[in-house]
Amino acid sequence: MKTIVTTAVAAVTALAAIVPQPAPGQRRPGTYVVSRDPGTRPEGIAVARDGAMYVTSVSDGAVYRGHVHDRELRPFLPGGADGRTRAAGVRLDRHGRILVAGWDTGALFVHAPDGRLLARRVAAGAALNDLAVTDDAVYVTDSAGGGLWRAEVADGWVGDLVPWVPATAFPAAPGFLNGIVVTDDGRVALVADQGTGEPGSERLWRVDLVGRTASVVEVAGGQLGADGLLLDGDRLYGVVNFPDGAGGWSFAVNLALLDAGRRTARVVAQSRPTGLDQSPTTIARDAGRLLWVNSQLNATAPAPPFTVTEVPGLR
């Protein structure tokens, strides 16, 4: 999560019992309604293999749940419950647990598939933004401290958050760490740095999770100082924002091809852009399409419905 202008907070309540299941042959909608409540401000998204969709609210920490065949999501985890007053990135681990980054609460929340709180792990003073889950760990970006935190993941538990790669391990001080993905072998993370807000200050970092060191990925053809990232083999997708040439800002998804060592990236395609009024944040894949969250974080007058939509013009 990163705002260009300002953010706001609001409230959501209620708890859903089950994920709605599609009717046979039902088609996927192009637009999903996360919430019709004013001020929801959705931020993170995760789509499970069975089609369950989870979307967070940075305003009050609510988590919404639905299905890729159902147009409407429903409140699943109430805002404010368990001390979860903010929610940014969300991921699922291989056990079906729901892991939520609690932004400036400094907490990582771990929930069972039925919504029960299993663990609340705190990183003091951190702004936990996005996360990536491997077979044995979860890594979380800290937008305040400029480093990565790690918690061990096992069948029955999630360990404490510990500082894993500090800001001092980067060759230059990170500006605003945000999106993160990890390679299949769990050894390398790619971490987006949105910089200071000035065009050209964005970076993409390659982080050695074993050696706990960081280096700059050389990016050609565009920028990858993204909010949300998605890694698909040697293809890296990132939700980026940039000046629109008319005094405003545009948002799009850049697609880059990575080299084998994940040290260089070449942007080869870009989605059709959208404007500040929608301010998309994070991205997820559902079958052969991409979905992004329309946060409205930077909209002059954010208004419901708050939605998730297909990324236009890119797969």
Question: What domains lie within the chain, and their CATH numbers?
Answer: 31-310 (2.120.10.30)
Q: Tokens 């797969």 appear where?
A: 315
Instruction: Write the pLDDT tens digit of every residue in 181-199.
Output: 999 999 999 999 999 877 7
Q: Read off the tokens for 117.
A: 């709180």
Q: Which residue has the higher pLDDT, 14 or 80?
A: 80
One DSSP character per residue, the chain reads ---SS------------S---PPTTPPPPSEEEEE-STT--EEEEEE-TTSEEEEEETTT--EEEEETT-SB-EEEE-TTGGG------EEE-TT--EEEE-BTT-EEEEE-TTS-EEEEEE-TT--EEEEEE-SSEEEEEETTTSSEEEEEB-SS-B---EEEE-GGGSSS--S-EEEEEE-TTSSEEEEEE-TTSSTT--EEEEEETTTTEEEE-EEESS----SSEEEETTEEEEEEEEE-SSSSEEEEEEEEEEPTTS-EEEEEEEPPPEETTT-EEEEEEETTEEEEEE--TT-SS--SPEEEEEPTT--
pTM for the full model?
A: 0.91
C-alpha span between 17 and 58 (Å, rounded)? 22
Instruction: Write the pLDDT tens digit of every residue in 23-76.
Output: 545 689 999 999 999 989 999 999 999 999 999 999 999 999 999 999 999 999
Instruction: Write the pLDDT tens digit of every residue in 126-175.
Output: 999 999 999 999 999 999 999 999 999 998 889 999 999 999 999 999 99
